[in-house]
């Protein structure tokens, strides 16, 4: 089954063709990152306008890359939330029109379910049940994936997402947007113990918090600037990465212990972080947990992950109709 899948929830426009949920036939992406970098963050209206400009061309590219014509597509899938509402609406409306014109089923897909499904594209043997650590620019959560379409949240951030924490601290340091990757690069060779940064303690102990860490790091930078003190930037970046990782990795291990799951998959843009990947590898080895880390190109937003999850949503009977809408907030 060939699914033509669309994604426009934030600042990447993507169209992909995926076969039977597992094989990427094509994956066309256009990132708007250079445009938003001028403003230090995503400007929602600009994002929507850029999606409108790009989506038809990317569709042609995805179909050509897959070597299929429009009539060779069996279904059309689209991210319908969560994300920036104006941005989401572009692909939702385009996908609705495509499904209508082609007379094919329409499959709405949750963005984070897509991030989790990126692992199905990289690892043919991976099947539910497993635990997923979803860490992106807008969300951070531990999800129990009981089945391809049966998921429950075991813990989630109470405030900022892990990616937002990296991005905001990077911005104060004057690093380019999005700051996660530049922070990761800066941290290489730094001393992760040099700066003392807070770790959150919450009553529901699988929940996470990143706003205290973000504020502490920003205050530390401002203090040093006001006093004219030089900061050891690689060590500061390494200390931030260690603090974010400490927020995530022990909780993932505790979630595995409580749920009895022996398989953990990482998902989302922040899963590209080298400190988090190394800490997850170490912790999973110590606890006898099989770990799946998606390749970097599948960690960020893409259309293929939506096409993968769409296949399983289709098998479960999920269909969108002509009234399908987009949602800024959406339960997984």
Q: Which residues bind ligand KG4 (CB under 6 A)?
A: 10, 136-138, 163, 166-167, 178-181, 184, 268-270, 272-273, 300-301
Q: Least distance (Å) from ligand KG4 to the CB of residue 267?
A: 8
- Evaluated on CA atoms 322, 86, 47, 186, the torsion sign reads negative
Nearer to ligand KG4, 73 or 167 (CB): 167
In the block, which residue shows the tokens 């203090």? 223
Asked if residue 133 lies in contact with residue 142, where contact means CB atoms within 8 angstroms, the answer is yes
Q: Least distance (Å) from ligand KG4 to the CB of residue 270?
A: 4
Q: Least distance (Å) from ligand KG4 to the CB of residue 184?
A: 4
For residue 41, list its beta bridge partners.
none
Nearer to ligand KG4, 268 or 320 (CB): 268
Q: Least distance (Å) from ligand KG4 to the CB of residue 7?
A: 9
Nearer to ligand KG4, 163 or 303 (CB): 163
Nearer to ligand KG4, 154 or 305 (CB): 305
* Whole-number Å distance between alpha carbons of 12 and 34: 11
- Evaluated on CA atoms 94, 100, 101, 106, the torsion sign reads positive
Q: Least distance (Å) from ligand KG4 to the CB of residue 236?
A: 15
Q: Least distance (Å) from ligand KG4 to the CB of residue 139?
A: 7
Paired tokens of 189: 């060779």
Q: Least distance (Å) from ligand KG4 to the CB of residue 302?
A: 8
Q: Which of 31, 98, 11, 115 is nearest to 59 (CA)?
A: 98
Paired tokens of 197: 């940064």
Nearer to ligand KG4, 73 or 197 (CB): 197
- How many CB atoms neighbour CB 239 within 10 A? 23
Nearer to ligand KG4, 73 or 165 (CB): 165
Nearer to ligand KG4, 148 or 166 (CB): 166
* Whole-number Å distance between alpha carbons of 222 and 238: 18
- Evaluated on CA atoms 257, 261, 264, 270, the torsion sign reads negative
Q: Is 310 left (phi over 0), alpha (psi -120 to 50) or beta?
A: alpha
């Amino acid at each position: 089954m060939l699914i033509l899948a669309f994604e426009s929830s934030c600042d990447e426009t993507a169209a992909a063709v995926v076969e039977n949920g597992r094989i990427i036939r094509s994956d066309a992406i256009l990132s708007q990152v250079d445009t938003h970098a001028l403003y230090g963050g995503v400007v929602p209206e600009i994002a929507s306008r850029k999606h409108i400009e790009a989506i038809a061309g990317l569709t042609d590219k995805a179909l050509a890359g897959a070597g299929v014509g429009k009539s060779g597509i069996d279904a059309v899938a689209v991210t319908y939330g969560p994300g920036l509402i104006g941005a989401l609406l572009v692909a939702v409306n385009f996908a609705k029109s495509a499904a209508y014109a082609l007379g094919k089923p329409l499959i709405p897909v949750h963005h984070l379910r897509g991030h989790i499904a990126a692992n199905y594209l990289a690892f043919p043997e991976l099947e539910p049940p497993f635990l997923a650590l979803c860490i992106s620019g807008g969300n951070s959560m531990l999800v129990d994936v009981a089945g391809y379409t049966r998921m429950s949240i075991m813990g989630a951030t109470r405030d900022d997402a892990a990616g937002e924490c990296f991005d905001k601290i990077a911005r104060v340091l004057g690093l380019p947007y999005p700051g996660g990757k530049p922070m990761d690069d800066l941290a290489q060779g730094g001393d992760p113990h040099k700066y003392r940064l807070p770790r959150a303690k919450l009553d529901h102990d699988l929940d996470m918090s990143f706003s205290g860490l973000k504020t502490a790091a920003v205050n530390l930078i401002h203090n040093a600037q006001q006093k004219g003190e030089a900061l050891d930037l690689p060590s500061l970046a390494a200390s931030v990465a260690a603090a974010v990782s400490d927020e995530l990795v022990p909780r993932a291990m505790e979630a595995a212990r409580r749920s009895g799951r022996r398989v953990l998959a990482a998902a989302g843009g922040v899963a590209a972080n080298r400190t988090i990947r190394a800490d997850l590898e170490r912790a999973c080895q110590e606890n006898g947990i099989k770990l799946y880390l998606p390749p970097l190109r599948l960690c960020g937003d893409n259309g293929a992950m939506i096409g993968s999850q769409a296949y399983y949503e289709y098998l479960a009977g999920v269909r969108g109709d002509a009234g399908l809408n987009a949602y800024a907030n959406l339960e997984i």
